[in-house]
Structure 1
Amino acid sequence: MNRRKFIKKTILSGVSVLTISGLNNSYIWGQTKGDSRLPAILGGAKSHLDLWPNWPVWRSPDYDESVLKVLRSGIWSRSKITGEFEKKWAELIGTKRCLSVVNGTNALIASIAQFNIGPGDEVIVPPYTFVATVQAILINGALPVFVDIDPETFQIDPSKIETKITSRTKAILPVHILGIPADMTKIMAIAKKHNLIVIEDACQAHLAEVNGKRVGSIGHAGCFSFQTSKNMPIGEGGAIVSDDEKFMDRCFSYHNLGLPYGTQVGSVSSGPFMVGSKIRFTEYQAAIGLVQMKNLERDTNIRWKNAKYLSEKIKAISGISPAKLYPETTKAVFHLFPLLYNKNKFKGMSRSLFMDSLRAEGIPCSSGYTPLHTQPFIKAAFESKLYQKVYTKEDLNYENFLDKNMCPMNDLICNEEAIWLTQNLLLGDESSMDNIANAIEKIYNNADEIVRKFKNKAI
């Protein structure tokens, strides 16, 4: 049997096959040599030998027929399957209505627009988020106002919100980043006090809960993403949910070229009554989504169970800690499992060297986001014709903007402390969680030697 056939046969039979490591030659064909107590980066045995669960998951031929049925029908634009998807997603989240759109970014854009937030308005937002959150504000012509994060939770710090509210503030846009709920109890109280709209960015937080209520259903509207990496993957796709019927009707019209719908009265034949876009869902996206929705609660519960178990294991290791959850959090869904790293407890080992050491153990990881509020796209928006015509020179003074929007806790997390594990790792079994914790413990116990050997990367 030649090498290629051997690899294929062993993979198909469920046997883990490991390639030779780029750091040392101690792992060949699912076996390892070397001291299991010694970190792999120093020539010891890998902590995790198995392949991690693939993502996204599609099981052929079991899942194929529902999509093939749509393709064969020839009805590919928005129709009954999309309506069925929206009904089920609204029921799952616990809202009256759902509107599916092409992606989470456009869900945010449409929601901001249909709450009449635009030029001259300010929207409060955390800096620790994906770029789409802030771009959705800018595309609508509003100004993002950044509120620093609570470094222990990675979420917007509610205690710092009120100092940023002005007469121009129209909305708070909390982000349940990483699948961890923001402190919605305090945020909603602040919003009520100041008569502000709350749009939840739940793009990474499918089925996360606060006091038993699912995120996206707590604010005035919630937005979701179904991009491939998400816990509910379709490839691309997004959704808006809300109990506000008139708002949802406006969103429907907006997403369908501004044509009238529901309470937005008028005749379709007479043309659009508002300026709109064309960001409609397709029937085959909905068909994929309906299949993926069947697995979402099961997978979410596995991640939640494993995350709690892994958190307890990691807490015992000095210098690294999992994110804290707010007391009202009844479920976090961990689209990403974040860790806070303190290099001083690891003998001055740099975060990058720690991650190299962790990857050598067979644990994939990354450092996560870079600071968002200082990225050049904001300055580019300020230099656009729209912003130049609407705002004063003082408003658009970029250096002043940076001074007003300093977020030192976010900078610390982004530049020095955050480490991410992706959600598919949490779909492994309990022994896989043990392997992650054991890998970290090995690195901690041998930090001195790792730092000495890789002194150029240590600090």
Structure 2
Amino acid sequence: MEPINRRKFLKTNAVLGAGAVAGLTSFGTLSHVVSDIETPALLGGTPIRTAAWPKWPRWDSEKDEELILKVLRSGVWSRDKVVEEFETKWAETLGVKRCLTVVNGTNAIIAALVQSKIGGGDEVIVSSYTFIATIVAILQTGAMPVFVDSDPDTFQLDATKIEAKITSRTRAILPVHILGLPADMGKIMKIANTHNLIVVEDACQAWLAEFNHQKAGTIGHAGCFSFQNSKNLPMGEGGAIVSNDDEFMDRCFSYHSYGFPYGNIGATNVSAVLAGTKLRLSEYQAAIGLTQLTRLHAETDLRSENAAYLRSKIEPIPGISPYVLYPGVTKASFHLFPFRYHSEAFKGLPRAVFLKALQAEGISCSSGYVPLNDKLYLKDAFDSKNYRKMYKKKDLDFEAFIAKNQCPQTDLLCNETGVWLSQNMLLGSKKDMDDIANAIQKIHDNAEKLLEVTA
């Protein structure tokens, strides 16, 4: 009975909405609207939604500009007190001892790996369902990425498959709390402790997410965050490293400022103590971050509330499998809302057509990532002079590497089943979530028509 009830709900709400907008009163006119609403927008029908989604990033001129203007007018734009204030507040927010800001999340991971003494000849076990930055960071250290397949229910690294990937060269695990949903950190930390491995968390999409009431990024040896423009805590570009290890954080600080001793910012009469680079954040970026931080808790709670509601609305639709959280997850941050699409329940309608039909109904969506374990950027690294000096020829056999790093569940998520909705959509109302669910139901009900027309 559920699909019938959902179709009735869809018809009623769509008719009332269309009638209210058009000012229609006659029964005959409404009958025509029902027919139009039932037709997929991709086939010329009326879209479920025409309203805009909440804009991102958010900016409140009245509340946000005072600090930014103060920084700009001061003329102190390089790293100084405002950056320090953001670092202090971010560390306090996470309940961690230390925070260091850097230019972006990618370089946060690079710095954390380098100062964890990861380098040429080492292997780093890593999630296979992630953004390319995670893998690029490993390659920048000279280490070898070792891909672990995904748990399709959670979209996370499958912790049960980690130990099979450990060798005598394994030095670290780099789990990714992808989409803002925490990885299974209980199992990951147990494996790491058993095998004496470093854990650097890629929490670049997981601000305020928690596993067993501990913030993502604070569970392993170090955690890394991104504040890029699309992120839930945006400042245009930016990143951070957090840890409770003072000696490690002192090294990270030196590394991010040319290798000068901890606390030194660019004095020309001081000798560098390690081989570093320049990754310092600017004052106005930190000022933007401070304004956004004031809203982060409330926005995170709203995303979580809407995500749970939307999940409950779409789960009964045949062929739709919403995200699953591990039992230890006490909060997710929902940088993205993921679900799996099973075409067999939609009369074989390809995912690409489902996405196009959903977009035509006014629902922004994406197929997400592409597989990373077989792409030419890896071969380019393996062909480089440094890799050829650090590794044996057999270790750099690209075809053999691909064969060893097969991730069939990740391939399915990337190529056939994964669907994303962006975090700003979750800042809307329950009615907005209903629009998403109704659009998916509408496509399901009309899958055969869509298949015939788009074949």
State the TM-score, normalized to the length of structure 2.
0.91
Gaps of 5+ in 2: 1-17, 24-32
Alignment match, 2:334: 334
1:197 & 1:31 partners in 2: Cα distance? 62
2:137 & 2:251 partners in 1: Cα distance? 17
Q: CA deviation at 1:31?
A: 5.6
- Tell me the amino acid that sits aligned with residue 396 of structure 1: L
Q: Is the 8 A contact 1:210 1:331 kept in 2?
A: yes
| Alignment of structure 1 residues 441-456 onto 2, 5 Å | 441-455=441-455
Matching of residue 240 in structure 1 with residue 241 in structure 2: yes
Alignment match, 2:147: 146
| Alignment of structure 1 residues 115-130 onto 2, 5 Å | 115-130=116-131
| Alignment of structure 1 residues 364-379 onto 2, 5 Å | 364-379=364-379
- Tell me the amino acid that sits aligned with residue 112 of structure 2: S
Structure 1 stretches of at least 4 aligned residues deviating more than 4 Å after TM superposition:
29-34
2:351 & 2:120 partners in 1: Cα distance? 41
Q: Is the 8 A contact 1:175 1:201 kept in 2?
A: yes
Deviations 1:347-382 (A, max 9, x none): 010001101110111001110101111111111000
1:315 & 1:386 partners in 2: Cα distance? 49
69-78 vs 53-62, which moves further: 53-62
| Alignment of structure 1 residues 194-233 onto 2, 5 Å | 194-233=195-234
| Alignment of structure 1 residues 47-126 onto 2, 5 Å | 47-126=48-127
Q: CA deviation at 1:30?
A: 6.8
Q: CA deviation at 1:452?
A: 1.3
Partner SS, residue 38 of structure 2: coil
- Tell me the amino acid that sits aligned with residue 204 of structure 1: Q
Alignment match, 2:284: 284
- Tell me the amino acid that sits aligned with residue 185 of structure 1: G
Partner SS, residue 87 of structure 1: helix
Matching of residue 38 in structure 1 with residue 32 in structure 2: no
| Alignment of structure 1 residues 403-422 onto 2, 5 Å | 403-422=403-422
1:121 & 1:268 partners in 2: Cα distance? 35
Alignment match, 1:22: none
Q: CA deviation at 1:60?
A: 1.4
Q: Using the aligned pairs only, state the percent identity.
A: 59
Q: CA deviation at 1:270?
A: 3.6
Alignment match, 1:389: 389
Q: Is the 8 A contact 1:147 1:157 kept in 2?
A: yes
1:376 & 1:42 partners in 2: Cα distance? 39
Q: Is the 8 A contact 1:257 1:276 kept in 2?
A: yes
1:428 & 1:270 partners in 2: Cα distance? 52
Q: Is the 8 A contact 1:259 1:268 kept in 2?
A: no
More helix by share: 2
Q: Is the 8 A contact 1:209 1:330 kept in 2?
A: yes
1:31 & 1:248 partners in 2: Cα distance? 61
Q: CA deviation at 1:183?
A: 0.3
Partner SS, residue 99 of structure 2: strand
Q: CA deviation at 1:232?
A: 0.5
- Tell me the amino acid that sits aligned with residue 330 of structure 1: T
Q: Is the 8 A contact 1:30 1:49 kept in 2?
A: no
Alignment match, 1:438: 438
Alignment match, 2:12: none
Partner SS, residue 363 of structure 1: coil
Alignment match, 1:15: none
- Tell me the amino acid that sits aligned with residue 359 of structure 1: Q
- Tell me the amino acid that sits aligned with residue 249 of structure 2: M
Q: CA deviation at 1:126?
A: 1.1
Alignment match, 1:5: none
Alignment match, 1:24: none
1:36 & 1:189 partners in 2: Cα distance? 53
Q: Is the 8 A contact 1:126 1:175 kept in 2?
A: yes
Q: CA deviation at 1:268?
A: 7.7
Partner SS, residue 421 of structure 2: strand
Alignment match, 2:28: none
Alignment match, 1:11: none
Q: CA deviation at 1:450?
A: 1.3
Partner SS, residue 144 of structure 1: strand
Alignment match, 2:14: none
Q: Is the 8 A contact 1:49 1:362 kept in 2?
A: yes
Q: CA deviation at 1:43?
A: 3.0
- Tell me the amino acid that sits aligned with residue 444 of structure 2: Y
Q: CA deviation at 1:36?
A: 2.7
1:126 & 1:275 partners in 2: Cα distance? 29
Q: Is the 8 A contact 1:95 1:242 kept in 2?
A: yes
- Tell me the amino acid that sits aligned with residue 114 of structure 1: Q
2:167 & 2:88 partners in 1: Cα distance? 38
Matching of residue 314 in structure 1 with residue 314 in structure 2: yes
1:337 & 1:245 partners in 2: Cα distance? 36
Alignment match, 1:14: none
Partner SS, residue 37 of structure 2: coil
2:356 & 2:429 partners in 1: Cα distance? 24
Deviations 1:41-85 (A, max 9, x none): 233322122110000111213311101101111111111111000
Partner SS, residue 370 of structure 2: coil
- Tell me the amino acid that sits aligned with residue 186 of structure 1: K
Q: CA deviation at 1:39?
A: 2.2
2:22 & 2:377 partners in 1: Cα distance? 48
Alignment match, 1:359: 359
446-455 vs 194-203, which moves further: 446-455
Partner SS, residue 77 of structure 1: coil
Partner SS, residue 396 of structure 2: coil
Q: CA deviation at 1:211?
A: 1.1
Q: CA deviation at 1:175?
A: 0.2
160-169 vs 41-50, which moves further: 41-50
Matching of residue 193 in structure 1 with residue 201 in structure 2: no
Alignment match, 1:181: 182
Partner SS, residue 241 of structure 2: strand
Q: Is the 8 A contact 1:341 1:417 kept in 2?
A: yes
Q: CA deviation at 1:101?
A: 0.4
Coordinate RMSD, CA, aligned:
1.7
Partner SS, residue 394 of structure 1: helix
Deviations 1:387-436 (A, max 9, x none): 00010001111111111101111111101001111111111100010110
Q: CA deviation at 1:235?
A: 0.3
2:309 & 2:226 partners in 1: Cα distance? 27
Partner SS, residue 182 of structure 2: coil
Matching of residue 300 in structure 1 with residue 321 in structure 2: no
Matching of residue 254 in structure 1 with residue 255 in structure 2: yes
2:397 & 2:357 partners in 1: Cα distance? 43
